[in-house]
Amino acid sequence: MNKKWEVYESNNEKIEQFAKENNLSFLISSILTNRGIQTKEQANLFLEPTRNNFHDPFLMPDMQKAVDRIIQAIEKNEKVMIYGDYDADGITSITVLKKFLEERGLEVGYYIPNRLNEGYGLNNKAIETIHKEGYNLMITVDCGISGIEEIKYAMSLGIEVIVTDHHEPGDEIPNCLAVVDAKRKDNQYPFNQLAGVGVVFKLIQAISIHLNLDAKEYLKYLDIVCVGTISDIVPLIDENRVIAKLGLKLVAMTKNIGLKTLIESIGYQQIDSTAVSFGIAPRINACGRMGAEKEALHLFLTNNQEEAKLITNRLNEYNSERQSTEKQIFTQAMQAVENGDKENPCIVLGKEGWHHGVIGIVSSKITEIYFKPSILICFEGEEGKGSGRSIPGFDLHEALMDCSTYIERFGGHSMAIGITVKKENFENFKKEFEEYARKNKISDIIPIIKIDKEVELKQINLQMVKDLKLLEPYGEANKVPIFLIRNLKILSIRSLSEGKHLKLKLSQDNYIIDAIGFNLGELAQKYLIGDKIDVVGSLEVNSFGGNEQIQVNLKDLRKSI
């Protein structure tokens, strides 16, 4: 697939001035300015955020109402129910709020819907259970903004509801005691991209301020808040970056027995955003995906070392089971695409027996491979439940709003959705969605690789690559810097892992560098030793065998002109 390479335009004079003012290298200054950071104050906030960089939590919609009601619950020693989601964001949200409120003397229960039997969000059966258990105050975390009817039902049973969420509201917001969501149309909060656990963090910060508690009473949860934030793939800018940057320091020395045990089991030498995204998050999410949503929560709540080890072992087993199931579905989905859906503007697949706790991951992979929005649905009897992923430039949530004729329900945001469609309506929905994608000329959207800077091989050294760590943690909206290197001669080229990956040795003016291209193995047949190529990719230090060597992690390559 052809990709468009775009190199950021740079004003060298301004960059040199910025570098001098901030005592930074020209390269780091170039990347920071590419990311909209142009003043000393912005640079300090990005590179060295502190607890003073958190926004005022009371600027959030209904925050004061929520705090007042929770303070009342504390004073009257009420029972409080937390209703959360089953993914890493939801699990960490419940953990933080439950622990914090229990330390204030409250009796706190929790309810997590089973992904396989109940699906995402509030449901009336769960609310009936909560009512029967004698709760009259329920706080939702990482969900609730779309639960209009369910919250109405809860209120009718005498359950007061506080919603804390970070998802997009519809035309109507729940009619309840408080709706704390910075994506509300009347929002005055300066940052509306927090994860669900980020909103919970703001809630406990607000309660702490109201009760005149020491800041450590809410800051000590930044390790768990950081894990949930990075896991939910929200933009790591502004307040999310403060959470991630400060939180990762606490994760590395966490006092949470469960989190510490899980970290020890994954084998990552360095605890950074990669360790969270690819080591911790998949194991937490695997519980919910495989229908054992309470396991990860129990891990974070336990104070028993042996119990933590047992739960961690089960989490690793769930993750292995998830990987096996995912591989099977991925193979079947790829066959279906290659046999019929490859030329369509989008990919919509449905099959009996697929595990709907896993198809979201497969959808994400399909979208990445074909650069098309994809929706995968698994049928159980007459009902189909599914997940979808999108590409930059195509709002999936907006598309489903327009194609809702045959949809039972859906939720999510521009890049990811969950959906329910009856089996009898699947083909009609597929046609309607494909027509919408066609009308919106989705085939005209070309993947763009944003390149931070063009460099020559002789300019690259070990210290320069290590300096890039200043820009971590990487994540959404703060991607790993990408570089362009032109006119490299191929000294060796081969594929690895049965043709899946690509390995090269490249040279330029007697300077030599290794390159690895994950999932680019097919290119080994398109280039020869001696060919001149241009490459784009990130620069990293490969410490294999104890020797530190620079390598390029390839994103794309093409023949030099």
Structure tokens at 188: 């005055």
Alpha-carbon distance values, 92 to 238, 401, 520 (Å):
20, 30, 36
Are residue 160 and residue 218 in the same domain, yes or no? yes
**Residue 198: what residue type?**
G
Are residue 57 and residue 121 in the same domain, yes or no? yes
**Residue 399: what residue type?**
A
Instruction: Indicate which CATH number applies to the domain containing 77.
Output: 3.90.1640.30
Are residue 39 and residue 76 in the same domain, yes or no? no
**Residue 245: what residue type?**
K
CA dist 253 and 532 (Å) reads 47
Instruction: Indicate which CATH number applies to the domain containing 391.
Output: 3.10.310.30
Segment holding 488, helix H or strand E: strand 483-496
Are residue 95 and residue 220 in the same domain, yes or no? yes
Are residue 90 and residue 38 in the same domain, yes or no? no
Q: Is the separation of the CB atoms in 191 and 55 below 8 Å?
A: yes
Query: Domain total for the chain?
Result: 3
CA dihedral (118, 121, 122, 124) positive or negative? negative
Alpha-carbon distance values, 350 to 197, 425, 426 (Å):
32, 11, 8
Last residue of a domain, one of 174, 203, 225: 225
Are residue 78 and residue 205 in the same domain, yes or no? yes
Is residue 298 domain-resident? no
CA dihedral (453, 458, 464, 469) positive or negative? positive
Structure tokens at 236: 């790591």
According to the model, what pLDDT value does residue 443 have? 84
Other C-beta atoms within 10 Å of 143: how many?
A: 25
According to the model, what pLDDT value does residue 1 have? 67
Query: By three-state DSSP, how is residue 378 classified?
Result: strand
Instruction: Indicate which CATH number applies to the domain containing 496.
Output: 2.40.50.460
Q: Is the separation of the CB atoms in 82 and 70 below 8 Å?
A: no
According to the model, what pLDDT value does residue 394 have? 94
CA dihedral (88, 392, 350, 168) positive or negative? positive
Give me the DSSP letters along 100-126. Answer: HHHHTT-EEEEE---TTTT-SS--HHH
Q: Strand pairing of 178-180 and 347-352?
A: unpaired
DSSP alpha helix (H) spans, 345-425: 359-370, 396-402
Last residue of a domain, one of 396, 421, 444: 444
Segment holding 558, helix H or strand E: strand 549-559
Are residue 141 and residue 84 in the same domain, yes or no? yes
Are residue 489 and residue 388 in the same domain, yes or no? no
- Cβ contacts of 340 within 8 Å, gap of 6 or more: none
Is residue 394 domain-resident? yes
* Domain encompassing residue 546: 4-48+449-559
Is residue 369 domain-resident? yes
Helix axes 257-266, 222-231, angle to 10 degrees: 50
Last residue of a domain, one of 209, 225, 241: 225
According to the model, what pLDDT value does residue 305 have? 97
Is residue 275 domain-resident? no
- Cβ contacts of 253 within 8 Å, gap of 6 or more: none
According to the model, what pLDDT value does residue 269 have? 81
CA dist 152 and 170 (Å) reads 16
CA dist 317 and 339 (Å) reads 33
According to the model, what pLDDT value does residue 282 have? 94
Buried b (16+ CB within 10 A) or exposed e, 407-424: beebbbeebbbbbbbbee
Query: By three-state DSSP, how is residue 200 classified?
Result: helix
Half-sphere exposure for 160 (CA within 13 Å, toward CB): 13
Are residue 146 and residue 25 in the same domain, yes or no? no
The tens digit of pLDDT for each residue in 362-371 reads 999 999 989 9
Matching residue, tokens 């599914």: 386
Tens digits of pLDDT across the chain (561 residues): 689 999 999 899 999 999 999 999 999 999 999 999 989 999 999 999 999 999 999 999 999 999 999 999 999 999 999 999 989 999 999 999 999 999 999 999 999 998 777 777 899 999 999 999 999 999 999 999 999 999 999 999 999 999 999 998 988 999 999 999 999 999 999 999 999 999 999 999 999 999 999 999 999 999 999 999 999 989 999 999 999 999 999 999 999 999 999 999 998 888 999 999 999 999 999 998 888 889 999 999 999 999 999 999 999 999 999 999 999 999 999 999 998 777 889 999 999 999 888 999 999 999 998 999 999 999 988 999 999 999 999 999 999 999 999 999 888 778 889 899 999 999 999 999 999 999 998 888 999 999 999 999 999 999 999 999 999 999 989 999 999 999 999 999 999 988 989 999 999 998 999 999 998 998 999 999 999 999 999 999 988 777 889 999 999 999 998
Are residue 160 and residue 195 in the same domain, yes or no? yes
Q: What is Dmax (Cα atoms) for the chain?
A: 78
Helix axes 12-22, 40-47, angle to 10 degrees: 60
Q: Strand pairing of 416-422 and 448-451?
A: unpaired
Buried b (16+ CB within 10 A) or exposed e, 433-463: bbebbeebebeebeeeeebbbbbebeebeee
SS3 content of the chain, % helix, strand, coil (to 5): 45, 20, 35
Is residue 280 domain-resident? no
Is residue 272 domain-resident? no
Alpha-carbon distance values, 305 to 240, 312, 448 (Å):
31, 10, 47
Is residue 547 domain-resident? yes
Are residue 208 and residue 60 in the same domain, yes or no? yes
- Cβ contacts of 156 within 8 Å, gap of 6 or more: none
Is residue 276 domain-resident? no
The closest of 134, 88, 92, 130 to 110, measured between CA atoms, is 130
The answer, yes or no, to whether the previous bond of 473 is cis (omega within 30 of 0) is: yes
Q: Is the separation of the CB atoms in 125 and 83 below 8 Å?
A: no
- Cβ contacts of 509 within 8 Å, gap of 6 or more: 457, 458
Q: Is the separation of the CB atoms in 503 and 520 below 8 Å?
A: no
Q: Strand pairing of 383-389 and 374-380?
A: antiparallel
Are residue 203 and residue 85 in the same domain, yes or no? yes
Structure tokens at 65: 């109402």
